[in-house]
A and B are shown apart, each in its own frame.
Chain A
Amino acid sequence: MSDIILSMRNVTKKYYGIKAIDSISLDIVRGEIHGIVGENGAGKSTLIKTVSGAISLTDGEIYFENELLKPESPVDAIKKGISVVYQEFNLLPNMAVYENVFFGMEIKKNGFLDRPAMREKSKLILEELGFDIDVNSKVKNLSPAYWQATEIAKSINHEVKLIIMDEPSAPLTEKEVDQLFNVVRKLNDNGITVIYISHKLNEIMELTDRISILRDGNLIKTVETKNTTEQELIKNMVGREINEIYPDKEYSDQEVILRCEGLTSDKVHNVSFEVRKGEIVGFGGLVGAGRTETMRLLFGADNKTSGKIFVENQEVNIKCPVEAIKNGIGLIPEDRKNQGLILNKSIYLNSLLPSLYDYTKYMFIDFKKSREDIKEYTDILKLKALNLEQICLNLSGGNQQKVVITKWLLKNCKILILDEPTRGIDVGTKQEIYQLIKDLALEGKAIIIISSEMPELIGLSHRILVMHEGNLTGELKGEQITQEAIMTLAAL
């Protein structure tokens, strides 16, 4: 009999009468790395929230080291040594790294905050994790990879026995994922048990000892990683077989629709490129290479210090998103929580916003038509929700992302920029999105895609531009497009 650290017995959680997880019984063995996989809305995040005490249980019990966990008590879970890195960042962007690391667990001396000690200790924790971060810098000035590092440091600033990570690799590029893996393994070597949730099955295969598969709130089965394959996982997750195939790259030369000349800001240096009708252009590079910043300049979300933009050979003056959209440019932003969604508003309102005036006649909104059109896209994307009135906060992470995609598909832009469009999306739906992107290109739309997932970028793009530290470092076409070529340019 192996040593069970965490035991879930018939754990059930209902929302509005619908079971998000249904009578799950699962034992986690001390010292293992346990993977959890499942489609968007399968119940992964819900399951771990019941363990961390973030939400109440409808039914069932959870034991940690043979002691009953107090339900709905995060304090109890933390005290017993359970720590969670949630899917969405929970950092305070205006505070320093060390303040975030010790938020809620501040070190005090004579009743006052002991800042030097907190600085020292957070520096130590981060160094041990292999990150060299200035602990005094504000979180908002750091790249997402460092946010993740801060989150992890925060979760291990006290005695931890079990650490749960919900899609920790989603905002990271491959190189940073390697670093994350080192951290996870290091924690595991120190005897900490890890539960690791991810949609990237190759990560799950590489990292874990055992894997549990959830589908529609049920535990389908738990398998030994060495006895399974990615295909088998997918089959159990989705209930059918899916091949990671990318749509074929049909492309015939058409006229240039977008041309950027010398886009410049403090983070982007003199970037020029063009995109043709029907073309899918990928942007490669590491996190912080300036890809997102370039797109924000193009979209008018940030101000450029210099540079020109031409749409259909006409110079356009884009100073704000309103003007970009008027010129047929749309941007699906990477940060769905802050930029993509109004979390406490409905799926309907969120999806409608970019097209609000297209559906407005004499000031009044055409609810019927807009609802039908939105429904069409949410069906293709298999959005899992009670109805369109459900507020986005109550959707699973992947389903929130589907709302962001819906709202821009509805707008039907001539030029569509997608910044990490499949972040947090499950394997099956990814294929649907790839097909959608390809269909848009076939219709003559110009597509720009930023992705940290190399296979996705390579699989989709007709042409790839690579950036490094705000500079365009190269262009790859056809046969030239390989992982090595991109990596070389990305590190130039």
Chain B
Amino acid sequence: MLKNLKLKSFFEKYAIYLVLIIEIVLFSILSPYFLSVDNLINILRQVSIVGIMAVGMTFVILTGGIDLSIGGVVACVGVICAKLMVNGVHPIFAILVSLIFAALVGLINAVFSHEFKLIPMIVTLATLQILKGISYIITGAIPVFGFTEEFKVIGQGYLGPIPIPIIIMLVLYVIAYIILTYTSFGQSIYAIGGNEEAVRLTGINIRKQKYLAYILCSLITAVAGIVLLSRVNTAQPSAGIGYEMDVITGAVLGGISMSGGEGKITGVFAGF
């Protein structure tokens, strides 16, 4: 009986990792190439964009919110960054401007959902539409391309044998893990998702934490947008559209509760 119980909670806790292992075993039996280093790296590279975005989304979902605008952020950031670069702006500045833009988007999402008490799903859906619109206006629906070699490194370069996007993703996961587990910001995010009223009465500044979560989400998404831009070498106003579903699915599969407050970032990682 007791053993059963333990087994059950063990499965609940580690199910996502088990599925991952089973998949790996299964695929390596079906195809001898599966476990080859090349192939693993390939898979990781494919998921890296969405994987990066999920880090940001995790923060927002943990507070009990959601951000559907991330697909638009990817598109808009790509378009802005590209337009600046083809007009002769140094990539570093172009990236900086894109990140600032993304932070503003996050701030707007936070203001509307927290101050005006609107439902985050609706606020961010509206943001998504606006961002899509902006991308089309800026590009006139024509793809933008022709970047410098140094910019391509972000999406196509390697550090030793490992592609840079994978490294960026791994670094972000480690940072997110540290923030969520060891900092007061991380712990209060979990707390807010658990019972916002109780947290308010303990004197924690809920506004600040929620703003930070939305801004972080947009910022991290912008990083994904820049990696994507660099990898495909072209800015499309339709880039990133529909990614939000993959991202949310990944996060939820990884054990992040949609109602907030529950789940670990390591699970999200395995979710992909």
A residues in contact (CB < 8 Å) with B: 14, 16-17, 58, 299, 301, 320-322, 324-326, 331, 333, 338-345, 349, 352-354, 356-357, 359-360, 363-365, 367, 407
* Residue B126 lies at the interface, judged by CB distance under 8 Å to chain A: no
Q: In the docked arrangement, what's the CA distance between A269 and B51, Å?
A: 56
* Residue B159 lies at the interface, judged by CB distance under 8 Å to chain A: no
Residues of chain B with a CB closer than 8 A to A58's CB: 1
Cβ contact within 8 Å between A339 and B203 = no
B residues in contact (CB < 8 Å) with A: 1-2, 5, 182-185, 187-188, 190-191, 194-195, 197-205, 261-262
Q: Chain B binding site: helix, strand, loop or mixed by DSSP?
A: helix
Residues of chain B with a CB closer than 8 A to A360's CB: 183-184
Q: List 13 A-B contacts (CB under 8 A).
A: A58-B1, A321-B203, A322-B204, A324-B203, A331-B201, A342-B198, A353-B191, A356-B202, A360-B184, A363-B184, A364-B184, A365-B182, A407-B202
Residues of chain B with a CB closer than 8 A to A322's CB: 203-205
CB distance from B32 to the nearest CB of A (A): 44
CB distance from B267 to the nearest CB of A (A): 16
Cβ contact within 8 Å between B197 and A338 = yes
> By CB atoms of chain B within 10 A, which of A324, A342, A360 has the most?
A342
Given known A-B contacts A58-B1, A357-B184, A338 and B198 have beta carbons under 8 A apart? yes
Cβ contact within 8 Å between B198 and A339 = yes
Residues of chain A with a CB closer than 8 A to B262's CB: 344
User: With contacts defined as CB atoms under 8 Å apart, how many contacts are there between chain A and chain B in the complex?
Assistant: 81
Q: In the docked arrangement, what's the CA distance between A17 and B2, Å?
A: 6
Residues of chain A with a CB closer than 8 A to B184's CB: 356-357, 359-360, 363-365
Cβ contact within 8 Å between A341 and B195 = yes
> By CB atoms of chain A within 10 A, which of B184, B191, B205 has the most?
B184
Residues of chain A with a CB closer than 8 A to B187's CB: 349, 352, 356, 365
CB distance from A187 to the nearest CB of B (A): 35
Cβ contact within 8 Å between B261 and A356 = no
The 4 A-B pairs at the shortest CB distance, nearest first, are namely A325-B203, A342-B194, A342-B195, A353-B202
CB distance from A135 to the nearest CB of B (A): 27
Residues of chain B with a CB closer than 8 A to A353's CB: 188, 191, 199, 202, 204
Residues of chain A with a CB closer than 8 A to B197's CB: 338-339
Cβ contact within 8 Å between B190 and A354 = no
Cβ contact within 8 Å between A364 and B183 = yes
Cβ contact within 8 Å between B185 and A342 = no
Q: In the docked arrangement, what's the CA distance between A327 and B190, Å?
A: 26
Residues of chain B with a CB closer than 8 A to A342's CB: 191, 194-195, 198-199, 261
